[in-house]
Amino acid sequence: MRVIAGRLGGRRLKAPPGRTTRPTSDRVREALFSMLGAVEGMSVLDLFAGTGALGIEALSRAAQSAVFVERDARVADILAGNLTALGLAGEVAQVRRADALAALKGARARKETYDLVFIDPPYAQARDLGPELSAMLPALLRPGARVVVESDRRAPLQLPHAGTGGLALERSRRYGDTSITIHRHQ
């Protein structure tokens, strides 16, 4: 697995052995960032970060900062190692070892806001997370912010479209069994 483009393009990322972490493929990341366009200067939140491939790709393409949320200690250590190896540790990139919903509550308490949020949960949990994420995310989103959801097309994570201040569906694509959905904060 490698960084696709930007100042870190071509650099390799380490991934934990086994199948518990499912990094977003190079092909899907390339297509996703093509859909997103410029991410320069954005503040990024990468939930269920795993290896950090999505947030690192955004930083490589000139995002201002990224917060990576990963619950598994072993995977979080590999993620931190990837950030250090790429020279991204410190204020630009921060790893928070926590459950995603707990991390969102903490971010809300600190009044943090983001321009771009990546959500790539374990596929088995995706269906159950939609309502809670939909309720918590709007308070953390800057006007016009986008939320990118990656999930299995057979059991997708769906963020119910809320009214004013909610999330509107911007674009949806499938890549094999992977579904990518981009929402925009209204």
pLDDT at 20 over 80: no
Expressed as residue numbers, the domain containing 51 is 31-185
Instruction: Judge contact between 52 and 79, C-beta under 8 A.
Output: yes
Look at residue 164 in the predicted model and tell me its pLDDT: 44
| Domain membership flag for residue 13 | no
Q: Residue 7 and residue 32: Cα distance in Å, rounded?
A: 18
| Domain membership flag for residue 86 | yes
| Domain membership flag for residue 80 | yes
| Domain membership flag for residue 134 | yes
* pTM score of the predicted model: 0.93
| Domain membership flag for residue 139 | yes
Q: Using 50, 70 and 90 to split pLDDT, how confident is the model at 155?
A: confident
What does the pLDDT look like over 64-105, one tens digit per residue?
Answer: 999 999 999 999 999 999 999 999 978 799 999 999 999 999
Neighbours of 125 (CB within 10 A): 13
Antiparallel, parallel or unpaired: β 141-152 and 178-185: antiparallel
Look at residue 126 in the predicted model and tell me its pLDDT: 79
Q: Which residues pair with 46 in a beta bridge?
A: 68, 118
| Domain membership flag for residue 19 | no
Burial zone of 180 (CB within 10 Å; 0-12 exposed, 13-18 middle, 19+ buried): buried
| Domain membership flag for residue 143 | yes
- Read off the pLDDT of each residue in 162-170 and give the average, rounded to a whole number: 70
pLDDT at 152 over 80: yes
Look at residue 22 in the predicted model and tell me its pLDDT: 67
What tokens were used for 29?
Answer: 């990341």
- Helix locations, 12-125, DSSP H: 26-36, 53-60, 73-85, 100-109
Report angle CA 30, 97, 135 to the nearest 5 degrees.
Answer: 75
Among 120, 151, 130, CA closest to 45:
120
Would you give the DSSP letter of residue 12? Answer: B
Look at residue 94 in the predicted model and tell me its pLDDT: 96
| Domain membership flag for residue 44 | yes
pLDDT at 24 over 80: no
Task: Specify the CATH number for the domain of residue 128.
Answer: 3.40.50.150
- Tally the domains of the chain: 1
